[in-house]
Amino acid sequence: MVQSIVDSGLVPEGALSLICGGAGDLLEHLDSQDVVTFTGSATTGQQLRVHPNLVAKSIPFTMEADSLNCCVLGDDVTPEQPEFALFIREVVREMTAKAGQKCTAIRRIIVPQAQVSAVSEALIARLEKVLVGDPAQEGAKMGALVNSDQRRDVQENVNKLIAAGCEIRLGGRADLSAAGAFFPPTLLFCPQPDETPAVHAIEAFGPVATLMPYQNREHALTLARAGEGSLVGTLGHRQRRAGTIVYSRRRPLPRAYSDPQRRVVRRVYRPRLSAAAAGSRRPGTRRRRRRARRPAVGEALHAAHGGSGQPDHAGRHLQTVGSRRAGGRRPRSPRSANISKRSSPATAC
């Protein structure tokens, strides 16, 4: 693909190069106009960051390293419910897709203490059906790791997790002398996740995930936050309110809101917005125009979430909808809307 791009002449000569294999002394030839981006393990990234040439010439360096992504099963889900089956299916898919060699793969499975046995049995039943082999082979569901060195690295990290106190529920051992860099789907169990920091720090970059219990929702959040720097967090629950996104108290609210947050915003503002825009012509009187005060969205949002300080006015998507006047004129001020007898009820957009 890269060769086709170069041959097309769409990019200047020398703008795109591909090196397959070791980089040698490539970092020694970089200058202050260069930038280094790295994707890999945190250990390797830390070594590259302090490379003498990068430090001496202040070469920008960014990296995307280990990510102990988690998947949390809500305490309102039981094995008889469809959400439970969906949770199991998603975990298995994330563990085995690309043989677990992706930054968003699930590494930590956080479930209620009462559901540990049910989740473990369901995961094992599905993982045992995953046929590992050549993708060209009929029925093969998962292929090999990138090479034998990667298989050895995954095995070493699995051994570290076992030494730290994790138990093998499925897989966990690969024949390092066998042809092909295949590694079996591996499910570990950590009975004491609070006392096992390794499970929140060591990433086996393969089809490996660790099951761990939580006692209550606050405990589940504590375990989820323990994997600092995680790219993805998944929550399987039955009630929408149980899936409310929880923010760190040390971090301000973002300007971009996900769908669950917008629902919260609408619940907070819609009554106030409707009250401000409620105006109609009384029988026998002239048409009356009222200016609908724009709600202090940022202030209300911070109050709803217990925030303080200057509000973040991120609610500019909220507006009142009124009919246009006969002459086609619009309200002069974007912060107001003309309400007449033909006006539709106030809505939050």
70 is catalytic: no
64 catalytic per annotation: yes
| Nearest CA among 232, 225, 233, 187 for reference residue 206 | 187
| Residue type, position 21, single letter | G
Selected catalytic residue, list 13, 20, 28, 64: 64
Catalytic one of 83, 90, 103, 299: 103
List all residues 6 or more positions away from 269 whose beta carbon is below 8 Å from its beta carbon: 295, 297, 300, 315, 318, 348
Can you say how many angstroms the Cα of residue 139 is from the centroid of all Cα atoms in its chain? 31
How far is residue 164 CA from its own chain's centroid?
27
Size of the chain, expressed as the number of residues it contains? 349
State the number of CA atoms in the 13 A half-sphere of 131 facing the CB: 9
Distance (Å, whole) CA 321 – CA 329: 14
Beta-bridged to residue 213, according to DSSP, are: 111
Contact 337, 292 (CB under 8 A): yes
- Provide the annotated active-site residues: 64, 103
